[in-house]
Amino acid sequence: MCRTIKAVLESSEALEDVKARGWVRTRRDAKGFSFLEINDGSCLGSLQVVIDAGVPGSDEVPMMLTGSSVEVRGKLVESPGAGQAWELHAAEVRLIGKASGDYPLQKKRHGPEFLREIAHLRPRTNLFGAIFRTRSRLAHAVHRFFEERGFVWVHTPIVTASDCEGAGEMFRVTTQKVGGGKDVPEEDFFGKASYLTVSGQLEGETFACALSKIYTFGPTFRAENSNTTRHAAEFWMIEPEMAFCDLKGDMDLAEEFVKALTRSVLEGPQDDFGLFSNFVDKGLEERLRFIAERPFERVSYTEAVAILEKSGKSFEYPVAWGENLQSEHERYLTEEHCKSPVTVYDYPEAIKPFYMRRNDDGKTVAAMDVLVPGIGEIVGGSQREERYDLLRATMEKDGLDVEAYGWYLDLRKYGSVPHAGFGLGFERMLMLATGVQNIRDVIPYPRTPGHCLP
């Protein structure tokens, strides 16, 4: 029977006859036998295989260069060597696919920049294998979290005609010939201009106003030209939306969610986690425990500005009430002032999108961002404006096409309810969970300005 290497390494007993497959990490030849280390990505560990000269297939061993795919069958015995409990004594080996000698992942350890250039091969390294297994488990933890709380997963569209964040940083979807000087949305595929979604929120709201508690989890796209370690042009976002919910309930859910995901990583397989906490970020475990166990701080935007003004720090961007908080400000708040995740709420109306609920002070909206150490903003959300007249007036003021958003206004016409939601950037959560510093290293194929491979 063929087993994953994970199953083989976790075996509770010696086994007479085991078959495993994988890619060769290293080979060492001695007199009369060879050692192979093979890895199949099912776990961090590799299987050590001992091949005596003369076993069937051993004539192919010289061609089993690093990167080659092989199948081995044999006896699982306790390993005398340090570092592994078991090793496989081959009774038969087979070369499945030879790797040519220019395979780029030879013994030496490569930096993430080099590995980004060979994104098609980097999952074969220890670090990236661990990152992408963690990514998969974290995605399952997202679904478990919402499933346990009665949320319905809604698949909001990827191609949309609406601009949720109102920032105009959207990728246009068109079948019209580019360069032909033709840009007639009415004659385009959908009969109007359409884009890749920047957020599933607006469509999500329509489902929350029917199914009460929903969430989306899918790819989102932003054409913002920001070349930072925390922005990607294509990223995944999780967006819960709750009817009969206010900003307080929204902040509570966001905090509970970040904590639950953090716990799931701490409780996950220790081999992958150990790689992150030993080799990527020594402070990782302590930080994650803190996030999982301690309540987040909460400060209003107005208080946050006062804290920043009193900090005595010279920031690159000036601090003033009414201005956006920049990443340096967010990181000061969470890393230096609060030394804890912090939820900032009630932002100035002028810097936030049209859909956020107006507060009674006439200046702020019921918005909130969760900021975490090492990253800054990880969650952005708000209570939504559920009052028809107020929403319509803001849309008109912001120059939105009120006719085109008739469906969105309808929610406020037919049984409107207070509702709220947020978006959590999945890659930013993964950066938090692994200690990896660059968003390009937690997404299989990063898309950033000037980069789209393959």
Q: Which member of 421, 431, 432, 434 binds ligand 4AD (CB under 6 A)?
A: 421
Which residue number has the CB closest to Mg ion? 380
Q: Is 231 in the site for ligand 4AD (CB under 6 A)?
A: yes
Q: Is 379 in the site for ligand 4AD (CB under 6 A)?
A: yes
Min separation Cβ 136 and Mg ion, Å = 26
# residues near Mg ion by CB under 5 A: 1
Q: Is 255 in the site for ligand 4AD (CB under 6 A)?
A: no
Min separation Cβ 387 and ligand 4AD, Å = 18
Which regions of 301-409 does DSSP assign to beta strands (E)? 342-348, 364-372, 376-383
| Neighbouring C-beta atoms of residue 115, cutoff 10 Å | 20
Q: Is 421 in the site for Mg ion (CB under 5 A)?
A: no
Judged by CB, which is closer to Mg ion: 40, or 427? Answer: 427
Which residue, 235, 212, 209, 204, is CA-closest to 222?
A: 235
Judged by CB, which is closer to Mg ion: 129, or 380? Answer: 380
Min separation Cβ 327 and Mg ion, Å = 11
Q: Is residue 51 within 8 Å of residue 33, measured between CB atoms?
A: yes
Q: Is residue 5 within 8 Å of residue 23, measured between CB atoms?
A: no
Min separation Cβ 167 and ligand 4AD, Å = 8
Binding mask 333-372 for Mg ion (x = CB under 5 A): ----------------------------------------
What H or E segment, with its residue span, contains residue 74?
Answer: strand 69-78
C-alpha to C-alpha distance for 351 and 349, rounded to whole angstroms: 6
Peptide bond into 446 cis (omega under 30): no
Residue 105's binding partner, choosing from Mg ion, ligand 4AD, none, with beta-carbon cut-off 5 to 8 A by kind?
none
Q: Is 425 in the site for ligand 4AD (CB under 6 A)?
A: yes
Q: Is 262 in the site for ligand 4AD (CB under 6 A)?
A: no
C-alpha to C-alpha distance for 356 and 173, rounded to whole angstroms: 27
C-alpha to C-alpha distance for 36 and 438, rounded to whole angstroms: 33
- How many alpha carbons fall within 13 Å on the CB side of residue 288? 24
Residue 418's binding partner, choosing from Mg ion, ligand 4AD, none, with beta-carbon cut-off 5 to 8 A by kind?
none
C-alpha to C-alpha distance for 299 and 303, rounded to whole angstroms: 6
At a CB cut-off of 8 Å and minimum separation 6, what does 6 contact? Answer: 42, 43, 45
Which residue, 422, 414, 426, 425, is CA-closest to 356?
A: 422
Q: Is 199 in the site for ligand 4AD (CB under 6 A)?
A: yes
Q: Is 380 in the site for Mg ion (CB under 5 A)?
A: yes
Give the tokens for residue 230: 């925390």
Q: Is 259 in the site for ligand 4AD (CB under 6 A)?
A: no
The one segment of 22-30, 168-176, 333-341, 377-385 that binds Mg ion by CB under 5 A? 377-385
Q: Is 443 in the site for ligand 4AD (CB under 6 A)?
A: no
Q: Is 46 in the site for ligand 4AD (CB under 6 A)?
A: no
Q: Which member of 422, 433, 434, 448 binds ligand 4AD (CB under 6 A)?
A: 422
Q: Is 451 in the site for ligand 4AD (CB under 6 A)?
A: no
Q: Is 381 in the site for Mg ion (CB under 5 A)?
A: no
Give the tokens for residue 138: 């974290």
C-alpha to C-alpha distance for 36 and 397, rounded to whole angstroms: 68
Min separation Cβ 384 and ligand 4AD, Å = 8
Which residue, 164, 232, 228, 233, is CA-closest to 201?
A: 164
C-alpha distances in Å from residue 400, one per residue of 120, 397, 419: 42, 8, 21
In the complex, which residues of this chain contact Mg ion (CB under 5 A)? Answer: 380
In the complex, which residues of this chain contact ligand 4AD (CB under 6 A)? Answer: 164-165, 199, 201, 222, 231-232, 235, 237, 239, 377-382, 421-423, 425, 427-428, 439
